[in-house]
Structure 1
Amino acid sequence: MKNIFSILKFTLLIVVLFAVVYPLAVYGIAQFAPNQGKGETISVNGKVVGYQKIGQKFDKSNYFWGRPSAVDYNAAGSGGSNKAADNKEYLALVQKRIDTFLIVHPYLRKSEIPADMVTASGSGLDPNISPQGALIQVKRIAKERKLPEEKVKALVESKINTAVVGPSTVNVLELNVALDALK
């Protein structure tokens, strides 16, 4: 009986510690983070349109497309395909993405498509693409929106984030918000 009482006290202590104290401590610390730990949002006219660090699905031809997602951009279920680079299913999926990309961008050759435009990221939620991935879409978007290609290209170039370490990137949501603001 003495052991059971000790185990119950220990269990209660652990429950209080990890179900009450720890979440409250994390919540308290988050209050000092940007946006009180709710993530870095992007707003248009006071309305939140998305999160800066989480990729979103853009599949209309008048928007820049991001990286494909193995989880259909579901932040609750982030993850990659977990298939090897030589897996036949994976290779067929990548080829299908290439074929689709070439149908919508008939002015391109397969060799001109950056890998990030046809392969999903490890999390499936990458909000960024390479500058090359954005630039090869300029012609399509300029045509769809009836804008001069140079204006759309200049917009892309203004949104390139140059990293101190690692490759340069373009945040797709930020780019599309700026695209909508073009007149």
Structure 2
Amino acid sequence: MHALLAHCRTALTVFLLLSVITGLAYPLVVTLAAQSLFASQTRGSLIHDRADDEGNVSGETVIGSSLIGQPFASPGHFWSRPSATAPMPYNGSASGGSNLGANNPQLLDAVRARIAALRAADPDNRAPVPVDLVTASASGLDPDISLAAAVYQSARVARARGIDITAVQTLIEQLAQRPWLGIVGEPRVNVVALNRALDAAR
């Protein structure tokens, strides 16, 4: 009987000790370290703006996240890649792709419609349409477009804003994100950051 109680006491002590270490101490240390070293990332990489919709400064307002794309329709803004999330584009609670196969007629029709919309917005642009401007990402939340997709839109944006195309393309280069260590990832640019920089320059 004493041996059984001793085993139970030992098991309970180990259980309580591990619960404190793995359930309280470890998560607390990791959380504090993350918030100290990666403050922006642990808070969702939020983008803040100090002005409201009417341009009045009324404290910091969260306008998005650099990790989640936003839809833009104005010809003076760069357009994000399509989003397959529902019921609205870039819906973080419904992340996912269209799951349509490459030969699915629905996907082909959607791509044709997107190409037509791009052509209609910039009739003089006869360059090949970059694939990321007419296809959704697997997550449906991709905040970035390729540099080719940004350059493709630069003439339309410059014309709509009445500025020189060189200034727009220079801004693309300034905000371009290069592959990590030169090999991981693709050259890209964050659409929200690019449009905010354009609006700030104006």
Q: TM-score, normalised by structure 2?
A: 0.73
C-alpha separation in 1, matches of 2:160 and 2:76: 5
Question: How far apart are residue 22 of structure 1 and its match?
Answer: 6.8
Which amino acid is the alignment partner of residue 116 of structure 1? D
**Which residue of 146, 161, 186 maps to 1:130?**
146
Question: How far apart are residue 29 of structure 1 and its match?
Answer: 4.2
Question: How far apart are residue 108 of structure 1 and its match?
Answer: 2.2
**Which residue of 76, 85, 96 maps to 1:79?**
96
**Which residue of 21, 35, 42 maps to 1:37?**
42
**CA deviation digits over 1:7-56, x for unaligned, max 9?**
xxxxxxxxxx9xxx979x86874453424732001223333221011111
Whose relative contact order is higher, 1 or 2, with alpha carbons under 8 Å and at least 6 apart?
A: 1
Partner SS, residue 49 of structure 1: strand
Asked if structure 2 preserves the Cα contact closer than 8 Å seen for 1:159 and 1:170, the reply is: yes
Confirm or deny that 1:149 pairs with 2:154.
no
Q: Displaced runs of 4+ in structure 1, greater than 3 A? A: 25-31
Question: How far apart are residue 65 of structure 1 and its match?
Answer: 0.4
Q: TM-score, normalised by structure 1?
A: 0.80
The alpha-carbon distance between structure 1 residues 149 and 36, as it changes in their structure 2 partners (threshold 3 A), is closer
C-alpha separation in 2, matches of 1:27 and 1:85: 46
Partner SS, residue 136 of structure 1: helix
C-alpha separation in 2, matches of 1:60 and 1:22: 49
Task: Give the structure 2 partner of residue 7 of structure 1.
Answer: none
Count of aligned pairs: 163
Aligned 1:26-105 pairs, distance under 5 A: 29-31=30-32, 32-33=34-35, 34-35=39-40, 37-45=42-50, 46-71=60-85, 72-105=89-122
Asked if structure 2 preserves the Cα contact closer than 8 Å seen for 1:105 and 1:140, the reply is: yes
Return 5+ residue gaps in structure 2 as ranges. Answer: 1-18, 51-59
Q: Tell me which structure has the larger Cα radius of gyration.
A: 2
The alpha-carbon distance between structure 1 residues 130 and 27, as it changes in their structure 2 partners (threshold 3 A), is farther
Percent identity of paired positions between Structure 1 and Structure 2: 38
Asked if structure 2 preserves the Cα contact closer than 8 Å seen for 1:30 and 1:36, the reply is: no
Task: Give the structure 2 partner of residue 108 of structure 1.
Answer: 125
Partner SS, residue 62 of structure 2: strand
Partner SS, residue 186 of structure 2: coil
Partner SS, residue 177 of structure 1: helix
C-alpha separation in 1, matches of 2:107 and 2:27: 39
